[in-house]
Amino acid sequence: MAKFIVEQSGPLRGEVDVSGSKNAVLPILAATLMAEGKCEIYDVPNLRDVDVMCRILRSMGASVEEDWETHTITTEIGSVLADEVPYELVKRMRASIFAMGPLLARTGKARIALPGGCSIGDRPIDLHNKGMRSLGARVTTDLGMVEVEAEKLQGSLIYLDFPSVGATENIMMAATMAEGLTTIENAAEEPEIVDLANFLNKMGARIKGAGTDTIRIEGVEKLRGARHTVIPDRIETGTFMVAAAITRGDVLIRNCVPDHVKPVIAKLMECGVTVNDEVEGLRVRGDIRKLVATDIKTMPYPGFPTDMQALFMALLSTVDGASTVIETVFENRFMHAAELSRMGANIKVNGRTAIVPGKNPLVGAQVISTDLRAGAALVLAGLMAKGTTEISEIYHIERGYDSFMEKLVSLGANIRRCED
């Protein structure tokens, strides 16, 4: 098993390019299952999760070409599609569930292994199932599989009890080929949903309102192939912003959309970090003012992203004063608190609230990356910690960051990868 060895590093300085968004490209690749014709997707990040999605597409009978020189994936789907995604693939990536909507729309049937819980909570798929039922599908769960089936999908009004990102995307994909109008109310508003809707519309879908809490989809008979450039990853953007701040550095972050990281910018500025929107990107400086505590509460977009919570916890461990962090999106997303505390952060967790006392000097330790963002948070904490930090189970990090180590090294970080 590979590890990252991180040494205390000076302030990070330089320029870094953000890759395409993981959370946008995964449903977009799944959506190509509905296209009659070739799809070309540009700015695809080179990630384990993308590799799993490509395997899913291939297991369905698609031809998938990956060109990592240009970060382009080309897909073409033959007429015969398999309709089952086995546990072997689902256990590697929960986002495998994105195959459900497209397969149901294209073939009238999908059998997907149930994803089960993970280190950040139970993660049920009841809202995905509710959406498919509303569109007229029979949904059964048996022997660890969920099966959805319909002769013809029928447009419908669907109210989501929680604005789930994945459920909004899955329902939106299925509804593109349903008969008549589908309205999703209390829909998630994340930029990745807008990106998926833009791609589907290029394929010939008729979707309006993506990015608001009401999405309207007028069903069409067929979807064609399309070309699309994936939006920049807003969580990777935020990660490098925190990396600049935590090391009291000065980093220009290129290929990002400042509008997508508004809450991150606001919270960094509350901490005393300087963020300037320059022509080439966002310049983030942690070296101008003394950094101080701030409180964080995670919320669905446009609130503060849950995916940035662990990274902020690492930053808040190094500033003056105590901060409160409240996690409202996932029920168990504080595993990194214990790992950061092993490095001296002394964080107290009570239910969904964590108190970060701040200004405890961090010291290197052996820690475990419990999930993707938790792993990245530990790497950033390691850059500030005295001595050496050894982070294991880094496959989580490699699931979701393209060239994370290389990008950090280019900014002056002292980090290396080693096989155990």
Binders of ligand UD1 in range 300-319 (CB under 6 A): 306-307
159 part of the interface to ligand UD1, by CB under 6 A: no
Least Å from the CB of residue 97 to ligand UD1: 8
Binding mask 178-197 for ligand UD1 (x = CB under 6 A): ----------x---x-----
From the candidates 54, 118, 256, 418, which is the catalytic residue?
118
Task: Tell me if residue 118 is catalytic.
Answer: yes
Least Å from the CB of residue 278 to ligand UD1: 28
The site for ligand UD1, by CB under 6 A, has a size of: 21
Minimum CB distance to ligand UD1 smaller for 236 or for 339: 236
Cα 385–Cα 373–Cα 255 angle in degrees, nearest 5: 100
**Rounded alpha-carbon distances, angstroms, from residue 350 to 86, 314, 327, 334, 359:** 37, 18, 11, 10, 20
Secondary structure of residue 353 in the 3-state scheme: strand
Binders of ligand UD1 in range 87-106 (CB under 6 A): 95
Beta-carbon contacts of 379 under 8 Å, excluding residues fewer than 6 positions away, are 4, 6, 389, 391, 397, 404, 408, 415
Distance (Å, whole) CA 240 – CA 305: 15
Cβ distance 113 to 81 under 8 Å? no
Distance (Å, whole) CA 150 – CA 110: 10
**Rounded alpha-carbon distances, angstroms, from residue 124 to 128, 196, 299, 383, 406:** 9, 22, 18, 35, 35
Written as six digits, the tokens of 98 are 């994105």
Least Å from the CB of residue 142 to ligand UD1: 18
Of 71, 106, 128, 336, the residue at the interface with ligand UD1 (CB under 6 A) is 128
125 part of the interface to ligand UD1, by CB under 6 A: yes
Distance (Å, whole) CA 362 – CA 349: 18
Least Å from the CB of residue 299 to ligand UD1: 9
Binders of ligand UD1 in range 320-359 (CB under 6 A): 329-330
Minimum CB distance to ligand UD1 smaller for 19 or for 164: 164
Exposed/middle/buried for residue 143 (C-beta within 10 Å: 0-12, 13-18, 19+): exposed
Least Å from the CB of residue 418 to ligand UD1: 28
Query: Which range, of 117-125, 275-283, 350-358, 377-385, touches ligand UD1 by CB under 6 A?
Result: 117-125
Residue 276's DSSP bridge partners are 283
26 part of the interface to ligand UD1, by CB under 6 A: yes
Least Å from the CB of residue 162 to ligand UD1: 5
Minimum CB distance to ligand UD1 smaller for 111 or for 248: 111
126 part of the interface to ligand UD1, by CB under 6 A: yes
Beta-carbon contacts of 185 under 8 Å, excluding residues fewer than 6 positions away, are 157, 158, 159, 160, 213, 214
124 part of the interface to ligand UD1, by CB under 6 A: yes
Minimum CB distance to ligand UD1 smaller for 274 or for 328: 328
162 part of the interface to ligand UD1, by CB under 6 A: yes
Query: Which range, of 33-41, 145-153, 163-171, 177-185, touches ligand UD1 by CB under 6 A?
Result: 163-171
Query: Which range, of 76-84, 116-124, 149-157, 376-384, touches ligand UD1 by CB under 6 A?
Result: 116-124
Distance (Å, whole) CA 97 – CA 115: 8
Tell me which DSSP letter residue 232 carries. Answer: B
Cβ distance 48 to 398 under 8 Å? yes
Minimum CB distance to ligand UD1 smaller for 95 or for 207: 95
Q: What residues line the site for ligand UD1 (CB under 6 A)?
A: 23, 26, 95, 121, 123-128, 162, 164-167, 188, 192, 306-307, 329-330
Q: Which residues are catalytic?
A: 118
